[in-house]
A and B are shown apart, each in its own frame.
Chain A
Amino acid sequence: MDAAWNAGVNAGFEDAETDRASQASSVIELRGLTKKYGDFTAVDGLDLSIRQGEIFGLLGPNGAGKTTTILMMLGLTEPTAGSSTVCGLDSTRQPMQVKRRVGYMPDDIGFYEDRSGLDNLVYTARLNGVPEKEARERAQQLLEKVGLAEAARKKTGAYSRGMRQRLGLADVLIKRPDVIILDEPTLGIDPEGVRELLVLIREMSRNEGLTVLLSSHHLHQVQQICDRVGLFVKGRLIASGDLDTLSRELDGGPTHLVELDVAGWSSALEETLLSVEGVLSVSRSEADALAGREADALAGREADGHGAPNAAATVRVASSVDLTAQLAAAVVTSGAALRGLRRTRYGLDDIYHRYFEGGDSHGRTH
């Protein structure tokens, strides 16, 4: 019966390969997934579908139920209700098949510390039924890919945090999975390490058509590489989609943000900006201490030169449509000096933050 199934599937293999990029079929399909621990509901009726070749970011604060969801996808925990289908396989009923196709990197990944990185990888490969010789070859290749070739024979106990995460990525990839699930892959690595790791993940996903699900609470890191994100709070997926959708879905709030560095800020100017059609809010930001000081220094020189005592300000103007040009014009015509203009989109951090600002009334406990 296995052979018959394989034959049937193999017939469509060629087409599938070419269609992969265009075809948007879901690889991970969650329907009403629920997990309760006694009275506590960790995951509450989760519906989610993730397409082939997509990088999906599962975002949420600690304890939102991200890890529990992942464990249910892998069949390591049984859901209280609902179903989870990965690569067309039921995670609860066929966990072995699912685990063959899915590479999972737990948060805070652990290795056998008195074995070398190479040995750890070979062991994982052999658990997946790869013969010793091939396992060794694959491990070497992957170690090179993640930049650990020199450290291959070093014991993993001596690895740094960033090296461990990269080894973790190699460990996930050695079974040649269709889907990789990364739980907090960027936890505890320095910014440069995070950047490298994310680039690596993105490259692998693009080159090999891998579907990637990564969970994180570091929003700005994740937004760099994710095609879509899902915001996960208290066991519920409150929004999902790309950034714009997410922002709209959440509260219909502004999606565009323009930062203006203005020397000669006055409340009249604020009025002018507010009167520009489509502007939702204008606020002076004290965001970056470093940038602020620089701006002040500039303003100081300005003041000496022109005798105008007004300090420079960085103003953030939020709007629902792109108003960059109009705003610049408004500032210039009002007579103030426009020192800088940055068009930014609302980042995940803002969306997240905004949600939780409003979220207090929904009874958030912490």
Chain B
Amino acid sequence: MGGLIERLRLPASLRRGADSPGVSGGRPGAPGTQARGAAERERRPAGSGSAFWVMVQKEFGDHIRSWRFLILLALVTLACIGSIYSSITALKDAQEAATGSGSEIDTSFLFLKMFTISDGSLPNFLTFLSFLAPLIGIAIGFDSINSERNKGTLSRVMSQPVYRDDFLNAKFVAGLLLIAVVVFSLGFLVMGMGLLTIGYPPTPEEFWRVVIALVITTVYVGLWLNLSLLFSVRFKQAATSALSGIAVWIFFLVFYGMIVSLISNATTPDAAAGADAYINQQNWMMLLQRLSPAYLFQEAASTLLLPDVRTLNPFVTQDQAYLAIDAPLSFGQSLLLVWPQVVAIVAETALSFAASYVAFMRQEIRSRS
């Protein structure tokens, strides 16, 4: 925020310099140096903007070269290949069973099924992704600020003409770019390999569903990146911040659902209570569940990749269930259905970014402390 304000304030301060020639004219020694600086600055186009992209570029390069990233990539790629294998086996089994019984296999959204079905030996792609994606975010972000601080590079960079928030933003943007590259290349890898193996091309609608699902995945990983950025600002030790990130990850993935169901059991209205009470309680539980980014992502991605999902509400009246046409939703409708989930994930991302932002701006830049 400081940088933003500063940028807004900049013209005013320059005007101040122009208005008071006494500062420059009165003492010829200093203006000589000022003139040199000013002349140099004139040659430079948009100074701070380019500094930002220089930082992004450097961060991106650092990530790509790091061992950590290679290991992560290997891990996630393995997971992808495993999930494709299991889904293709499942598809082939289904086809054999269908030909055996003389009927045709249901080919609607066959391409999407590659992402969502499994023969049971390994989880499907979506599950793998929702499980491993946070790890990518955490691994990329957990030491971004505190390691610079500990290595003494933070104070060196901050003494250059660089806005303090640009430093944090560059970390975030570079991380997000990297995540987008990884997620999309994995997604396209699965698509391509699937295409080769099952030989069944995707319809445009299927293609866009996958692309949007990948975008949502990127945003979701971005949330974890931000969370780990926050920890890296907050904790001086990289190990502490990594551990905190992993703790939050495990909490939401494993324990949060358990806790919600515990609460749900404890607050179930007794049998004598009316339907309103039940619905009310269920809605509350749903809200609690949806605080978890993992749950939100699961809902959003599975709705997009499974067009048969018609609603995310736990309660459907009998009329609704009977009268609804048993047909998959169109792409636009699926998108509408997951819109709130996407907004919620983005909001949580923004929230944690704001927190790390405030924490970082308040910190004092000192060498290695």
Asked if B192 is at the interface (CB within 8 A of a chain A CB), the reply is: no
Residue in chain B with minimal CB distance to A5 = B18
A322 to chain B, nearest CB (A): 35
Asked if A104 is at the interface (CB within 8 A of a chain B CB), the reply is: yes
Asked if A218 is at the interface (CB within 8 A of a chain B CB), the reply is: no
Which one of B30-38, B245-253, B267-275, B315-323 contacts A? Answer: B30-38
A210 to chain B, nearest CB (A): 10
Interfacial chain B residues near A95, Cβ < 8 Å: 6
The contact of A106 among B28, B48, B155, by CB within 8 Å, is B155
Asked if B104 is at the interface (CB within 8 A of a chain A CB), the reply is: no
Question: Contact between B366 and A87 (Cβ–Cβ < 8 Å)?
Answer: no
- How many chain B residues have a CB neighbour from A under 8 Å? 58
Interfacial chain B residues near A287, Cβ < 8 Å: none
Question: Contact between B29 and A13 (Cβ–Cβ < 8 Å)?
Answer: no
Interfacial chain B residues near A171, Cβ < 8 Å: 156
Using A5-B14, A108-B367 as known contacts, say yes or no to A13 and B31 having CB atoms under 8 A apart.
Answer: yes
Cα–Cα distance between A112 and B59 once the two chains are bound (Å): 11
The contact of B35 among A16, A107, A108, by CB within 8 Å, is A16
Apart from the given pairs A16-B33, A67-B367, A171-B156, 9 other A-B contacts in the complex at a CB distance below 8 Å: A5-B38, A12-B25, A16-B35, A71-B366, A88-B17, A89-B17, A94-B13, A95-B6, A127-B157
Question: Contact between A9 and B159 (Cβ–Cβ < 8 Å)?
Answer: no
Question: Contact between B44 and A129 (Cβ–Cβ < 8 Å)?
Answer: yes
Question: Contact between B40 and A9 (Cβ–Cβ < 8 Å)?
Answer: no
Which one of B50-58, B171-179, B194-202, B341-349 contacts A? Answer: B50-58
- How many chain A residues have a CB neighbour from B under 8 Å? 62
Asked if A38 is at the interface (CB within 8 A of a chain B CB), the reply is: no
Chain A 173-208, CB within 8 Å of chain B: the 1/0 string? Answer: 001101000010000000000000000000000000
Asked if B102 is at the interface (CB within 8 A of a chain A CB), the reply is: no
Question: Contact between A9 and B35 (Cβ–Cβ < 8 Å)?
Answer: yes
Interfacial chain B residues near A96, Cβ < 8 Å: 6, 10, 48, 161, 163
Question: Contact between B366 and A67 (Cβ–Cβ < 8 Å)?
Answer: yes
Interfacial chain A residues near B154, Cβ < 8 Å: 110
Asked if B21 is at the interface (CB within 8 A of a chain A CB), the reply is: yes
Asked if B204 is at the interface (CB within 8 A of a chain A CB), the reply is: no
Could you write out 19 A-B pairs with CB less than 8 Å apart?
Answer: A1-B15, A1-B18, A5-B17, A8-B18, A8-B24, A12-B31, A13-B36, A16-B33, A19-B32, A71-B364, A96-B161, A97-B37, A100-B47, A110-B154, A127-B161, A129-B45, A129-B47, A176-B40, A178-B36
Interfacial chain B residues near A130, Cβ < 8 Å: 44
Using A12-B32, A93-B13 as known contacts, say yes or no to A114 and B39 having CB atoms under 8 A apart.
Answer: no
The contact of B153 among A52, A74, A102, A112, by CB within 8 Å, is A112
Residue in chain B with minimal CB distance to A134 = B43
